[in-house]
Chain A
Amino acid sequence: MHELSIAMAVIGQVEDAARAAGATAVHTVHLQVGELAGVVPDALEFGFGLACAGTVLEGARLVIETVPGRAGCRPCADEWAVGMPPDLCCPVCGTAADELLSGRELQITGVRFADGTAGGPVLEPTGGER
């Protein structure tokens, strides 16, 4: 159960960002978790709820976006969902994938600070991408 350690790392980074931005409260933290990151989202949410107590993140919502694993084979110009357990051999030629294109993310993608006023506009963390 290293999710508590992961949650504490998230909190530490968001605390730093809040300090830099002069924010006094955090409304939402957006996190990407790849399905091959070795992290269980439910356990992470549980750990996050506990570890937020007494910090600027107290009461903050954690929004986890799960990222499926995808691998690619350059010679075949092929890309596939690796599934779980993952299959990292190309379904076309049967050789090893050249790289894992996604699936190991463990990344904070956005933070929404709450500046004391309830009911602010709901904004997505990163404009154009989604």
Chain B
Amino acid sequence: MCRVVDLQQAVLAGNDLRAQQLRADLAGRGTTVVNLLSSPGSGKTALLEQELALARARGTRIAALTADLATENDATRLARSGAPVKQVLTDGLCHLEAGMLARHLDGWLPDATELLFVENVGNLVCPASYDLGETLRVVLASVTEGEDKPLKYPTAFGLANLVVVTKMDLAGPAAFDEAAFRSHVAQVNPGVEVLLTSVRGGLGAGELLARATAAAAGGPVHTPVMSRNGAAQGHLHGHGHVHHHDQDHPYGHGAHLDGCDGADHPHGHEQPAADRLAAVTGES
């Protein structure tokens, strides 16, 4: 005979539980985690190098853990900032899990670290499913990757608390259509802030650090629609956070509160990005 068991279990419940524990443990130590996701070659490391150096200059106690399939190249680059850096080699695994992160932090993460940046494996598919106990999940895309990246990887972009565009100095040669990109982000994650950066051009330097610092100070963090789950959902990202819908737009200026038109230009950047970049690079 056969027996049937009504087993209602979220497959990733184990990871979610460890992520919750890690979030609580780190909160107890005063540490806030920022999880950086992007394709390989999007510029995570270059941006992080810059933000780590700025944080060190400002006296923020910051650390970084970077995950790759192989090589310690990224850790070597990041360590130049003087911040504590750890390289995790995943040996082919395409993502980090909360338990893995917890094991790597154990005995390494310096006491009184305020911000821990986790540079996930370069991959926009698998890491999206794993909560690492972060307070801020940041998804990056470079201007050369195409404006439809958010539509091709809706789970990654849909669960981001912040979207960062990198390599804006290449926006012209790549014919990057900023409006189209914003509109695609808005379709899968209405209301999320899109931050424009160029490490070479100096655009947006310190902005990621500022968002991380604000989140660490308990400031409001955007809650993606995809995280506002119905009761039936098995796997939720970001439990344990304080998420209120009225706090969804920490940086918005009220003009496009729903964010569905993709035209949200927070922080009063009224200049077109290309002009702003020209201004900082001295080009015309």
B8 and A101 form a contact (CB under 8 A)? no
In the complex, A66 has a CB within 8 A of chain B? no
Interface residues of A (CB under 8 A from B): 1-2, 5-6, 9-10, 12-14, 17, 21, 23, 27, 31-32, 34, 36-39, 71, 84-90, 94-102, 104-115, 117, 120-127
- In the bound complex, how far is the Cα of B9 from the Cα of A99, in angstroms? 22
| Contacting pair A13 B12 (CB below 8 A) | no
Q: Which of B4, B128, B186, B225 contacts A125 (CB 8 A)?
A: B4
B234 within 8 A of A: yes
B21-52 vs A, Cβ < 8 Å mask (1 yes, 0 no):
00000000000000000000000000000000
Across-interface contacts of A39 in B (CB, < 8 A): 129
| Cross-chain contact of A99 among B3, B12, B187, B229 (Cβ < 8 A) | B229
Given A38-B155, A71-B225: A112 in contact with B4 (beta carbons within 8 A): yes
Task: Find out whether the CB atom of B258 lies under 8 angstroms from the CB atom of A107.
Answer: no
Contact partner, A115, options B3, B9, B129, Cβ 8 Å = B3
Interface 9-mer from B61-69, B169-177, B188-196, B267-275: B188-196
Query: B7, A108: Cβ atoms under 8 Å?
Result: yes
The 4 closest A-B pairs by CB, nearest first: A95-B258, A120-B2, A96-B190, A2-B126
Complex interface residues of chain B between 75 and 132 (CB less than 8 A to chain A): 93-95, 97, 125-126, 128-130
CA distance A105 to B226 in the complex (A): 11
- B155 lies within 8 A of A105 (CB): no
Verify B190–A113 contact, CB threshold 8 A: no
Which one of A6, A12, A94, A120 lies within 8 Å of B258 (CB-CB)? A94
- Asked whether, in the complex, the Cβ of A96 is within 8 Å of the Cβ of B191, the reply is yes
B230-262 at interface with A (beta carbon < 8 Å): 230, 232-236, 245, 257-261
Find out whether the CB atom of A110 lies under 8 angstroms from the CB atom of B5. Answer: yes
- Is B225 in contact with A100, judged by CB distance below 8 angstroms? yes
A-B pair number, CB within 8 angstroms: 178
Q: Report yes or no: A112 in contact with B2, Cβ–Cβ below 8 A.
A: yes
Given A17-B7, A111-B4, A120-B1: A38 touches B260 (CB 8 Å cut-off): no
Contacts A89-B190, A96-B191, A112-B3 known; list 7 others, CB within 8 Å: A21-B5, A39-B129, A88-B187, A104-B235, A107-B8, A110-B7, A126-B6
Given contacts A36-B155, A37-B129, A97-B225, contact A121 B11 (CB under 8 A): no
B103 to chain A, nearest CB (A): 16
Q: In the complex, what distance in Å separates the CA atom of A65 from the CA atom of B36? A: 31
- Contact across chains for B235 and A21 when beta carbons are under 8 A apart: no
Q: Is B56 an interface residue (CB 8 A)?
A: no
Chain B proximity of A97: nearest CB distance (Å)? 5
Query: What distance in Å separates the Cβ of B227 from its nearest Cβ neighbour in chain A?
Result: 8
Q: Cα distance A38–B259 when bound, in Å? A: 24
Contacts A/B (CB < 8 Å), 16 sampled: A1-B94, A9-B11, A9-B14, A10-B11, A32-B234, A36-B158, A38-B156, A85-B151, A85-B188, A94-B258, A109-B6, A109-B8, A110-B6, A112-B4, A121-B2, A125-B5
Q: In the assembled complex, which residues on chain A have CB atoms less than 8 Å from the CB atom of B191?
A: 96
Q: B residues within 8 A CB of A86? A: 154, 158, 187-188, 226
Nearest opposing residue in chain B for A7, CB measure: B11
Most buried by A among B12, B151, B225: B225
Q: Bound state CA distance, A102 and B232, in angstroms?
A: 7
A107/B2 contact (C-beta < 8 A), A85-B188, A99-B230 known: no
Chain B residues contacting A96 (CB-CB under 8 Å) are 190-191, 225, 258-260
Query: Does B228 sit within 8 A of A, measured CB to CB?
Result: yes
The smallest C-beta distance from B42 to any residue of chain A, in angstroms, reads 18
B residues less than 8 Å from A109 (CB atoms): 6-8
Residue of B nearest to A109 (CB): B8
Residues of B within 8 A of A34 (CB): 233
With A and B bound together, what is the CA distance between A86 and B226 in angstroms?
Answer: 10
